[in-house]
Amino acid sequence: MTIRGVHIRNRIWVPPMCQYSIFERDGIPRTWHTVHLGAMAVGGAGLIMVESTAVAPEGRITVHDCGIWNDSQRDAWKEIVDFLKSQGAVAGIQLSHAGRKASVRPDWNYAGASGAMPEEEGGWQVIGPSEIPFDAESKTPRVMGPADIESVISSFRAAARRSVEAGFTVVEIHAAHGYLLHEFLSPLSNTRKDAYGGSLENRARLLLQIVETVRAEVGSDVAVFVRFSATDWSEGGITPEEISSVARWCHESGSDLADVSTGGNVIGVTIPTGPSYQVTFSELVKRNADVPTVTAGLIVDPVLANEIVTSGQADAVYFGREHMRDPHFTFRAAVALGAEMDYWPAQYLRSRPQRVVKGSSSKVAF
Ligand SMILES: Cc1cc2nc3c(=O)[nH]c(=O)nc-3n(C[C@H](O)[C@H](O)[C@H](O)COP(=O)(O)O)c2cc1C
């Protein structure tokens, strides 16, 4: 698949997955990230989207998040990106600001503690479109004024520049899962009365300004994705039809692909999860907005994924947790689909599946 000038060797992709593993609290990725992401590149994934990476310190979900707001972070990412590329994978980065969902404790790391991280422990005052906290445990956001909006846009601009300098050829803008840009999009978290609230055009304004800014910064060769939550799974929330319109506007403003996810902006909702439960949203956005999409969500079967792509419901499939269970998942998928791979790491050649002589000539097996 080729998007802009970016050729991606297959449509099995790794979605962004936070690792909360920067124990030094400086946003600099280290050995964990090299191993975690590197194994998936060795394992044949087409595109690897590195986790939600903060464009500013106060945009982190936790103090253990990755960042790309300074040159040290950029240089650390470059080493990882160089390795991913050396294995033939395309390296993407998800740029994010957590908004009102920032400054929380990663619960697995704090003896079961969760909720807001107080300032005396390293937390900070969070910002958002309106004075509505995410839940009862969360901090109440400070309402963003014009200077905050300017500052967020310029943080995305600088992060996009550093991403390109680090060698990423795909930049994904995180506008899903209840983080800042989703907070602006959804009427459940945005009750502003200014040019950034009210109508869909107004709620989408900040995202579109960021898409335009990022596109201008990365130049014409880098692909820009936007991750959306197509529904809040809640009465009065954002709808798939609205997200289809926003995806089209983003496309007109310079993005190349819509990454269609759901949820994350409000708690206490019922989500009918199950294998491929988000695919219908991808299909709808793809059809309504006429943009390429990637889908994700409990897809583990390569045959099902192949059907999703060949039937035109999505252009590619993100396999998340399945890649954590098996970073060489793409090799297995190729075998399951009887597909020829023109890629296999030289060091692993002796593990390469052999053709089965009996039966169909297209079959391979371990
Ligand atoms: C450990 C973990 C971390 C995640 N972190 C992110 C993230 O940084 N950004 C994001 O947009 N989604 C994140 N997600 C959601 C995944 O990108 C993906 O959409 C989701 O896991 C569904 O795909 P799967 O069922 O194949 O895992 C995360 C999911 C997991 C399991």
Looking up residue 216, the CATH number of its domain turns out to be 3.20.20.70
| CB of 15 closer than 8 Å to CB of 296 | yes
Q: What angle do CA 327, 4, 231 make, to 5 degrees?
A: 65
Q: Does 335 map to a domain?
A: no
Nearest atom of ligand 1 to the alpha carbon of 322: 26
Ligand 1: residue of 11, 13, 17 to mutate (most ligand atoms within 8 A of CB) is 17
Distance 319 CA to ligand 1 centre (A): 9
- Residue 339 covered by a domain: no
Q: Would you say residue 93 lies in a domain?
A: yes
Q: Is 109's pLDDT higher than 70?
A: no
Ligand 1, atom nearest to 15 Cα: 17
pLDDT reported for residue 354 = 75
41 touches 89 (CB < 8 A): yes
The tens digit of pLDDT for each residue in 1-22 reads 999 999 999 999 999 999 999 9
What is the Cα–Cα distance from 85 to 90, expressed in whole angstroms?
6
Residue 200 and residue 213 in contact, taking contact as beta carbons nearer than 8 Å: no
Residue of the CA atom closest to atom 13 of ligand 1: 17
Q: What confidence score (pLDDT) does residue 364 get?
A: 57
The stretch 272-276 carries a mean pLDDT of: 90
* C-alpha–C-alpha distance, residues 300 and 285, integer Å: 22
What is the reported pLDDT for 347? 95
Least confident range from 109-118, 275-284, 338-347: namely 109-118
Cβ contacts of 58 within 8 Å, gap of 6 or more: 102, 103, 124, 125, 126, 127
List ligand 1's pocket residues with C-beta within 6 A.
15-18, 51-52, 94, 174, 176-177, 227, 261, 296-299, 318-322
273 burial (CB, 10 Å; 0-12 / 13-18 / 19+) is: exposed
The answer to whether residue 342 sits within a structural domain is: no
Largest CA distance in the chain: 70
Q: What is the pLDDT of residue 114?
A: 72
pLDDT of residue 341: 84
Cα angle value 154/104/28 (rounded, 5°): 55
**pLDDT over 90 (residue 224):** yes
Q: Say what the pLDDT of residue 360 is.
A: 55
Q: How many angstroms separate the alpha carbon of residue 218 from the centre of ligand 1?
A: 25
pLDDT score recorded for residue 342: 86
Per the structure, the complete domain to which residue 156 belongs is given by 2-330
The number of folded domains in the chain is: 1
Q: What is the mean pLDDT of residues 203-231?
A: 98
Is 61 a member of any domain?
A: yes
The most confident of the ranges 144-153, 273-282, 328-337 is 144-153
pLDDT of residue 356: 52
Among protein residues, the one whose CA lies closest to atom 5 of ligand 1:
17
Q: What is the distance between the alpha carbons of residues 56 and 258, in angstroms, rounded to a whole number?
A: 24
Spell out the residues 6+ positions from residue 174 whose beta carbon is closer than 8 angstroms to its own: 16, 52, 94, 95, 96, 97, 181, 227
Residue 358: other Cβ atoms inside 10 A:
6
Residue 124 covered by a domain: yes
Closest atom of ligand 1 relative to the 176 alpha carbon: 11
pLDDT tens digits, 47-106: 999 999 999 999 999 999 999 999 999 999 999 999 999 999 999 999 999 999 999 988
Would you tell me how many other CB atoms lie within 10 Å of the CB of residue 171?
26
Asked if residue 350 belongs to a domain, the reply is no
What is the set of active-site residues? 179
pLDDT confidence bin for 275, thresholds 50/70/90: confident
* Domain contains 178: yes
Single-letter amino acid, residue 95: L
Q: What is the mean pLDDT of the chain?
A: 95
Checking if the pLDDT of 309 tops 90, the result is yes
Q: Is pLDDT above 70 for 313?
A: yes
Whether 358 has a pLDDT exceeding 70, the answer reads no
